Structure 1
Amino acid sequence: MTQDRYKDLDQLGTMKGLPSSPDEAELERVKNPCADDYMIRLVAPEFTSICPVTGQPDFAHLVVDYCPDQWIVESKAFKLFLGSYRNHGDFHEACTTGIAQRLVKEISPKWLRIGGYWYPRGGIPIDVFYQFGEAPKGVWIPDQGVPPYRGRG
């Protein structure tokens, strides 16, 4: 029965505040509803974290692509997980790779990639990319579609 797949979710349909840190955030998962190989894309165009040195906010456009195995991440839990970075101090590289590694740990996908397209800090945009595994043969993997930073040009 379809509803049984969702019976253990604690965050969906409830009023939940943002977790105080990524380590405290619960990434809930749901049984993959499809036995075929396919790709899921999660996009967070307004991701924020904090610079660990200056305490100033940092902003990124994140694109997570993954081919699930047995589990998919529940989207509200993912949103709250990303929101937990809002007051988390870490460099761009640690935030981007940490998100990917946590997803790999929680849902064990067949393949995952993340593109962290960070807005300039000190005049230098930083893009961070991480990949886990190999995409299954025959799965359509589109370009992430985020153009390189051009400034006001």
Structure 2
Amino acid sequence: MHTAHDSPLGKTVTGSDCYDPGLLFPIARAPKRAELYIDGTLPLHGADIWNAWELSWLDARGKPQVATATFHVPCDSPSLIESKSLKLYLNSFNETRFDDHETVRATIARDLSLVSGGDVDVALHALDELVDTRIASLAGICIDNLDLDIDHYGPPCPDFLRVDTRAAAVEENLVSHLLKSNCPVTGQPDWASVQIVYRGMPIDRAGLLRYLVSFRRHDDFHEQCVERIYIDLLARCAPEHLRVQARYTRRGGLDINPWRASAAGTDPGNPRLARQ
């Protein structure tokens, strides 16, 4: 079984000047899901949306080409892909000749699907396609300006989560830009904005903010943090419908944006936020 500490993270690693899918490193999702009592049928739907901003290769005549790429890794894949290994893998394209853009796209889709064990969707974007891309915001009520004291920064504390059981069900989008966790290998900080879309008894906003801040000293990968938030909200607040997405800031030319939902077909899209 591959673990985070076996990965290239935190180590000096020599990359490759030519295409090398062997650089990709999978990390099994099952052990961390077991900590959340997820076993067997997943109580969630979703994907990990990666944006790759540094992608280049050589055309058939040796001239460099550049593009950006988006990868959708389904959450039901057995493994997530460790980010440094993906960066090294993409760098191995830099001095490799490919016949056309479609060959590059299909190669990446095949390799990521094989490593993750899921059907990974890959799209390449020419730079002129991005000219009119605007900075977006997560729709909803931002809870960051609540007037409250906070003194718990880890471990994540689901006891903060509560609902008003006397109130009628509501439909709300709640947003916070204060989510921070840490890489479980290097200890480097990971920063994110998070959106919680739900239908059910009103979630106490002060408790929710305290809960999100309690990830501040927590060590886990992006995907694992989002699943923990989703499962804790599901268990403590019992919403009729729930979707959690986090938009993480970029590192090494990559940003990772997991989302998890109680229903299929609720993809939140891929908006580019101010810190991305």
Q: Same fold (TM over 0.5)?
A: yes
Within 5 Å, give how 1:67-106 maps onto structure 2. Answer: 67-68=199-200, 71-106=201-236
Deviation at 1:29, TM superposition (A): 2.1
* Structure 2 partner of 1:9: none
Q: Which runs of 5+ in 1 are unaligned?
A: 1-12, 136-140
Q: CA deviation at 1:78?
A: 0.6
Would you say 1:147 and 2:242 are equivalent positions? no
Higher Cα Rg: structure 1 or 2?
A: 2
Aligned to 1:127: 257
RMSD of aligned residue pairs (Cα, Å): 3.2
The structure 1 segments of at least 4 consecutive aligned residues displaced by more than 4 Å after TM superposition are 13-16, 143-146, 149-152
Quick one: which amino acid aligns to residue 40 of structure 1? E
Identity %, equivalent residues = 28
The structure-2 alpha-carbon separation of the partners of 1:150 and 1:107, relative to structure 1 and needing over 3 Å to count, comes to closer
Give the Å deviation of 1:145.
8.3
Question: Which stretch shows the higher mean deviation, 22-31 or 98-107?
Answer: 22-31
State the alpha-carbon separation in 2 of the partners of residues 43 and 151 from structure 1: 15
What are the ranges of 5 or more consecutive residues in structure 2 without an aligned counterpart? 1-146
Please state whether the residue corresponding to 2:185 is helix, strand or coil: coil
Q: What residue number does 2:154 align with?
A: 20
Pick 1 or 2: higher relative contact order, CA cutoff 8 A, min separation 6.
1
Q: 1:57 to 1:25 in 2, by over 3 A?
A: farther
User: What is the CA–CA distance in structure 1 between the aligned matches of 2:164 and 2:237, rounded to whole Å?
Assistant: 9
Flag the 1:25–1:49 CA change in 2: closer, same or farther, 3 A.
Answer: farther
TM-score (norm 2): 0.42
Which letter maps to 1:100?
A: Y
1:59 maps onto 2:191 in alignment: yes
Q: Residues 52, 65 of structure 1: CA spacing in aligned structure 2 closer, same or farther, 3 A cutoff? A: same
Give the length in aligned residue pairs.
131
After superposition, the C-alpha distances for 1:18-66 in whole angstroms (9 at most, x for unaligned) are: 253114643122125225xx41111012311111111111011111100
Per the alignment, in what secondary structure is the counterpart of residue 161 of structure 2?
coil
- The letter for the 2-side match of 1:148 is R
Matching residue within 164, 175, 200 for 1:30:
164
